[in-house]
Amino acid sequence: MVDYYRESYVKRTLGTSAGSLLHIAFMECGHHITGRLYYHIQLAVNNCLMLEGHSTGIADTIADQQAYDTIRSTIGKAKLEVNKVIERAHRDSLDPSSGNSLRQTFENMVIGLLNSARDNTGSSAQRSLSDFNQFKAMVVSGAKGLSINISQVIACVGQQNVEGKRIPFGFVENSYLQGLTTVEFYFHVMGGRESLIDTAVKTAETGYIQRRLIKAMKSVMVKYDGTARNQIEQLIQFTYGEDGLAGENVEFQSIISKFLTDDVIRDLYTNESLQLLDDEWKQLNNDRLNLRQIFPTGDTSKIVLPCNLERLIYNAKKNFSISNLSPMQVTQGLQKLTQRLIIVKGDDRLSHEAQHNATMLMNILL
């Protein structure tokens, strides 16, 4: 669960992202209280800006001498490494990586070295800035800009690309603060022109795609029988989203599968006081096998499911001071709860299969 007792609040915690203060306040308290909360937050921010203000100047883009020394040495090392790669390519001692030609391997190695140099110089530049630096404050708070913008202003602009390919001699060593040479400026404009055209073209294309989707799907709605149909009653889905979950009520949740190791399950099984939980132990085994098939990488930290259980349990413990439930009570309560989770009604084989698919992850989480 997110800890909101912190010294500073940024866009990630106050903004419109999943799991933010706005999201949790809306889910727990409703829109009236959330609206009042954010009204007072905005009032505090407005008063702070009125009294203190916020402005960025050239002084905010100047790092200390140690950072500049690190930047120069990092770029120098990157140049030497690139020269070594070029020499290896000339001597035909470069081995192609898997799935790539010799030329692609060479390009990937050069781009990797140059991007690493840009990132390392940018990191050293950012570390040299104080927490009261206005430029850094904008990036850290999430108001505007990214870390790469600080890197390009203070350290170096980096390698320029056109159509996803490296421009020969297109590594811009200088920063915006130092100023670009004529050649560097020329290469930089080449990359800038492409991004400008892409932005203009994509805005028009995506806008038209969105309009066509809206016109085609604006009549689709969930009927009283639970099916999704259009204006002429054509069937789109038997159950909305195949699981019947409302999008505004689902959250990212984590299944504690990584804690269900063989040792934990063995202890659970051999403990004499828990012999009555044999069925639950078998279910945990089956859940673990299912999770391994659904998530082969083992990452179950971000699964979209309704009813944030961690928050529900926290609220129940806090409001009702319940912490002495026996494992038998918990197991029996969970079994009754899972039996009441009916998404797809029906006694035929297809209905049972659809019901199992719609509720499997939720049952595993429980």
Residue 279 lies in a domain: yes
Say if residue 66 is in the same domain as residue 35. Answer: no
Residue 126 lies in a domain: yes
Q: Which domain holds residue 38?
A: 11-51
Alpha helices in 142-181 (DSSP H): 147-150
Residue-wise pLDDT for 169-200, tens only, equals 888 988 899 899 999 999 999 988 988 998 89
Residue 239 lies in a domain: no
Strands 235-237 and 221-222: unpaired
What distance in Å separates the CA atoms of residue 346 and residue 184, rounded to the nearest whole number?
A: 69
Output the pTM of the full model.
0.66
Say if residue 63 is in the same domain as residue 184. Answer: yes
Q: What element of type H or E holds 109?
A: helix 102-128
What distance in Å separates the CA atoms of residue 158 and residue 171, rounded to the nearest whole number?
A: 5
Say if residue 66 is in the same domain as residue 154. Answer: yes
Residue-wise pLDDT for 198-212, tens only, equals 889 999 999 999 999
Domain boundary among 188, 204, 229: 188
Residue 260: pLDDT band (50, 70, 90) is low
Residue 212 lies in a domain: no
Residue-wise pLDDT for 65-124, tens only, equals 888 888 889 888 998 998 888 888 888 888 888 888 888 888 888 888 988 888 888 888
What distance in Å separates the CA atoms of residue 164 and residue 167, rounded to the nearest whole number?
A: 9
**Strand intervals (E) in the chain:** 158-162, 165-172, 221-222, 228-229, 235-237, 250-253, 303-306
Say if residue 351 is in the same domain as residue 288. Answer: yes
What distance in Å separates the CA atoms of residue 303 and residue 362, rounded to the nearest whole number?
A: 10
Domain boundary among 170, 188, 206: 188
Q: pLDDT at position 211, please?
A: 96
Say if residue 93 is in the same domain as residue 38. Answer: no
Report the C-alpha dihedral over residues 25, 29, 30, 33, rounded to 10 degrees: -80
User: In CATH, what number is assigned to the domain containing residue 96?
Assistant: 1.10.132.30
Say if residue 267 is in the same domain as residue 288. Answer: yes
Say if residue 46 is in the same domain as residue 64. Answer: no
Count of the separate structural domains present in the chain: 3
- Looking at the chain, the number of H-run helices and the number of E-run strands are 13, 7
The closest of 292, 305, 312 to 243, measured between CA atoms, is: 305
Residue 221 lies in a domain: no
Residue 109 lies in a domain: yes
Domain boundary among 188, 203, 228: 188
Say if residue 36 is in the same domain as residue 70. Answer: no
Residue 257 lies in a domain: yes
Rg of the chain over all Cα atoms, to the nearest angstrom: 28
Residue 92 lies in a domain: yes
